[in-house]
Amino acid sequence: MPGLSLKGVTKAYGATKVIHGVDIEIDKGEFCVFVGPSGCGKSTLLRMIAGLEEISGGDVFINDQRVNEVDPSHRGVAMVFQTYALYPHMSVEQNMGFGLRMNGRPKAEVAKRVEDAAKILQIEELLDRKPRQLSGGQRQRVAIGRAIVRDPQVFLFDEPLSNLDAELRVATRLEIAKLHRQLGGATMIYVTHDQVEAMTLATKIVVLRQGIVEQVGAPMELYSNPANLFVAGFIGSPKMNFLEVSPGADGALQFKDGRSINVTGKANNIATVGVRADQLRAAPLDAAALTGEVSVVERLGDAEFVYVRTGWGQEIVVRFEGGADIPVGSEVGFNLSGRTHFFDTDGAAIDGLTVASH
């Protein structure tokens, strides 16, 4: 049963269209992440669901009820803002209970709900403090607490981790994942530009670009079967290597330096080959599909990312096991192994092909 669905939703500011007909179904209890580069419309979409932004066209349904014109506070949604948006002059307790108090809930009920939320987030000892006396991570919790207190059907998170430092971001990411399980049944919609957050948190990812949904699916589905060049390049770190190819002799695919690979399956119209850093294997230079000179090596401990400059000047990244110690400046060769992706001239993925030999 869908907890929330968008049907042909559009948004325009005057003549400028920023959302071009978006259709998304989000089931109850799902953790859905909207991801995309800045300016792709993901925050706008979230704000339209929240009711902070008017819907220019299409419909938004929450629990099968059309909510286009419903007041934000009556949609059963709660929002956690990127900047937390805590009321600076109120204590944590007042911040969390503000909405309930203003809507005339009895004092005892407000206190109970605030207390329960504080317990879930482990911020009970912070209730008397003002927001300025809290660290970034604590403020984030209070902001989430303010959402929990409202007991919403749908939680909306607008880039909630982007104001935290790297370490705290990872910790809070885990907290949010736990929270989702703890609040069982709560639908969450989460906006981020960080594909790692999307991959780690989501049960469903919606990849957006320029107001259009590029692909919807489970994290690993998007990783393994990206629908197009954009999704392939956006999901996964480091970024997928894209190699331009042209048709060679006997249906082979030729790289810019003349080396080629053979493909099994119907290989029409292939313009780009995509291969992730961990799907390239070192090979002797004379038997390699790709060769190049090592320009930079990033040592991460468990892995080494080696940047190789090919004969035609493109830089590709290859993953080696930690301790491989590839010298910078050396000439190396690779074969394509495992999953290789193929894209046509329009950037759409072509299925059913594998690399045969070269």
Tell me which residues touch another protein (CB under 8 A): 50-52, 71-74, 77-79, 81-89, 98-99, 102-103, 146, 150
Q: 331 - beta bridge partners?
A: 293
Q: Is 66 exposed, middle or buried (0-12, 13-18, 19+ CB in 10 A)?
A: exposed
Residue 74 or 185: which CB sits closer to another protein? 74
Q: What does the alpha-carbon distance between residue 57 and residue 34 come to, in Å, rounded to a whole number?
A: 20
Which residue reads 């399980």 in tokens? 181
The dihedrals phi and psi of 94, each to the nearest 5 degrees, come to -65, -40
Q: How far is the CB of 332 from another protein (least distance, A)?
A: 29
Q: How far is the CB of 70 from another protein (least distance, A)?
A: 12
Residue 74 or 301: which CB sits closer to another protein? 74
Residue 83 or 269: which CB sits closer to another protein? 83
Residue 86 or 213: which CB sits closer to another protein? 86
Q: How far is the CB of 127 from another protein (least distance, A)?
A: 18
CB-based contact 262:251 (threshold 8 Å): yes
Q: What does the alpha-carbon distance between residue 260 and residue 289 come to, in Å, rounded to a whole number?
A: 6
Contacts of 252-258 spanning 24+ positions with Cβ under 8 A: 252/358, 255/289, 255/290, 255/310, 255/312, 256/310, 256/311, 256/312, 256/314, 257/291, 257/310, 257/311, 257/312
Q: How far is the CB of 233 from another protein (least distance, A)?
A: 29
Helix, strand and coil percent figures for the chain, each rounded to 5: 30, 35, 35
Q: What does the alpha-carbon distance between residue 195 and residue 205 come to, in Å, rounded to a whole number?
A: 10
Residue 11 or 146: which CB sits closer to another protein? 146
Residue 155 or 223: which CB sits closer to another protein? 155
CB-based contact 227:348 (threshold 8 Å): yes
Q: How far is CA 110 from the centre of its chain?
A: 35
Residue 55 or 205: which CB sits closer to another protein? 55
Q: How many CB atoms lie within 10 A of CB 21?
A: 15
Q: How far is the CB of 334 from another protein (least distance, A)?
A: 32
Q: How far is the CB of 146 from another protein (least distance, A)?
A: 8
Q: How far is the CB of 147 from another protein (least distance, A)?
A: 8
Q: How far is the CB of 86 from another protein (least distance, A)?
A: 8
Residue 80 or 216: which CB sits closer to another protein? 80
Structure tokens at 9: 């939703």
